[in-house]
Structure 1
Amino acid sequence: MNELKPTSTIQLNELLKHADYITPLRKGKYIFQEGMDAHEVYIIRKGRVQISKITNDGKELCLRICQRDDIFGELTLFTDNPKYLLNSKVIEDGEAAVIYKENLERLLFENSQFAFEFMKWMSDHFRKTQTKFRDLLLMGKKGALYSTLIRLSNSYGTKKPDGIHINIPLTNQELANFCGTTRESINRMLNELRRNNILSINQGKITIHNLQYLKEEIKCEECPAEYCSIE
């Protein structure tokens, strides 16, 4: 399971001290959608939020699942007339601390150590995003699914005697959105993996019985878990 969080590289307590208010997170609701005016950055205190992009052909491509202490909405910093570039949809009830964009920008200008740590986190964040797009573009549908399952195991996996339990329920459509493909394709590939006892699914939660198989199939480069994650 991936242990690297923004709290390990960003002075999160310093950021939270400057939060302007707390907002509730309600499952199924959008916090913002791409194209909306961007005035705020969010830090999750409880719950989960899915970050996605709508492609030119109208498909939803999921990029991240954010959880406690994760930051989102940060891509609008230091831009004129900023618009949100992505969608943020709540998938588990909770709450988030909110800091106005101009206040965060001021903090970054005034606190050089904090600005340095924030830039390090942003660099790591962009690197993770680049590896996800690489997998989607170069590995095909099957490779994209296998890569997504590996990332899920790093982010939400718990080792048990029968395999790695992914502690977050996902529908086949949600998996398809992470892979940039259709639900029907995901259904076929998951059924094949179940027949071969590579994984099993119980009430929407996946247990991976043979992670090594998935890694070998995509010629996994064994990237550090902090980059090979779904967060």
Structure 2
Amino acid sequence: MSADLKFWYLRDHKLFRTLSFSQIKQLCIITGYKKAGKGDIIYFSSTDVPRIFFLKKGNIKIVSVDKSGKEMIKDIIQKGDLFGELTLETDSETYEYAQALTDEIIICSFLLSDFENLLLKHPELALSYTKFVGLRMLKWKNNYSNLISKDAKARLLMFIKDWAKKEGRAEGDKVYIENYLTQNDIAQIICTSRQTATQLLNELEEKQFITYTRKQIIINDFTAFEKIAG
């Protein structure tokens, strides 16, 4: 990858906007880059060298695995998001991996040790990073709150509404979402069984709130959908 392309990948990320052009050029020396395709595993937390990752293009799912081997989707990573050892600490008791959901994935990354040194050298960057991670933690806290306070249908409605707002393409009253998730993925995200997720999606289709296919989800009237989603 050319030095110019590396530079603009970093310069374009809001986390590094506090740095000067020359400082960003210096980062290119220690930054790793990777491309991946749908289904590829990006990293395993239990075996790979600890890194901080920045997603430049595509979508990734973070899957946690418990001691019995049961998998659960912890998060969906979108363009501009960070993932990896965000707390700057490694935990041998937890195991997770990242897998590409879309056809073209572009990632830049830093070794955890290099990134820690970077934050020490640039206090303004450390402050931006703290805010960034704080927002991610707040999102996870809200997700947990929803799990214990809402039923599966309410969680599905909220998930689809948030997905539409982040990635949907509006045309009049309709919103089109590129569907890169399987029904099993959706079930894991809202913490229910695949059978229940399928049943709930079918109900939304029968009531004409959505049109669902493997490639696309169409919200037929987003205003009406927001009302039922709360």
Q: Scaled by the length of structure 1, what TM-score is found?
A: 0.79
Residues 20-58 of structure 1 show CA distances to partners (whole Å, capped at 9, x for unaligned) of 321221321222234335422212233321112235665
The CA RMSD over aligned residues, in Å, is 2.7
SS of the aligned residue for 2:59 comes to: strand
CA shift for structure 1 position 70: 2.2
Distance in 1 (CA, whole Å) between partners of 2:178 and 2:37 is: 20
Matched, 1:11 2:22: no
Q: Could you say which structure has the higher helix fraction?
A: 2
Pick closer, same or farther for the CA change 1:216–1:47 going to 2, 3 Å: closer
Gaps of 5+ in 1: 1-5, 221-231
> Given the superposition, is the C-alpha separation of residues 169 and 48 from structure 1 closer, same or farther in structure 2, using an over 3 Å criterion?
closer
Deviates more, 1:37-46 or 1:93-102: 37-46
1:63 aligns with 2:63: no
State the shift of 1:84 in Å: 6.6
Question: RCO (CA 8 Å, sep 6+): is it higher in 1 or 2?
Answer: 1
Task: For 1:22 and 1:139, locate their aligned partners in 2 and report how far apart those are by CA, in whole Å.
Answer: 40
Q: Does 1:175 align with 2:181?
A: no
Relative to structure 1, the CA distance from residue 190 to residue 61 in structure 2 (aligned partners, 3 Å threshold; closer, same or farther) is: same
Report whether the alignment pairs 1:91 with 2:101. yes
Q: Distance in 2 between matches of 1:135 and 1:16?
A: 39
1:225 counterpart residue number: none
Sort the Cα spacing of 1:55 and 1:192 in 2 relative to 1 into closer, same or farther, 3 A: farther
Rg (Cα) greater in structure: 2
The Cα offsets for residues 122-177 of structure 1, whole Å up to 9 and x where unpaired, read as 11111111111111221011111111111211221111135111123322111111
Structure 2, unpaired ranges of 5+: 1-11
Q: Which TM-score applies when normalising by structure 2?
A: 0.80
Question: 2:179 touches 2:214 (CA, 8 Å); kept in 1?
Answer: no
Asked if the contact 2:50–2:111 (Cα under 8 Å) also holds between the matched residues in 1, the reply is yes
Mapped to 2, the partners of 1:179 and 1:34 lie a distance apart of 23
Size of the alignment, in residue pairs? 212
Matching residue of 1:50: 61
Of the structure 1 ranges 81-90 and 138-147, higher mean CA displacement relative to structure 2 is found in 81-90
Matched residue of 1:133: which SS?
helix
* Residue type at the aligned position of 1:90: A
Alpha carbons 1:76, 1:82 under 8 Å: kept: no
Whether 2:51 is the aligned partner of 1:40: answer yes
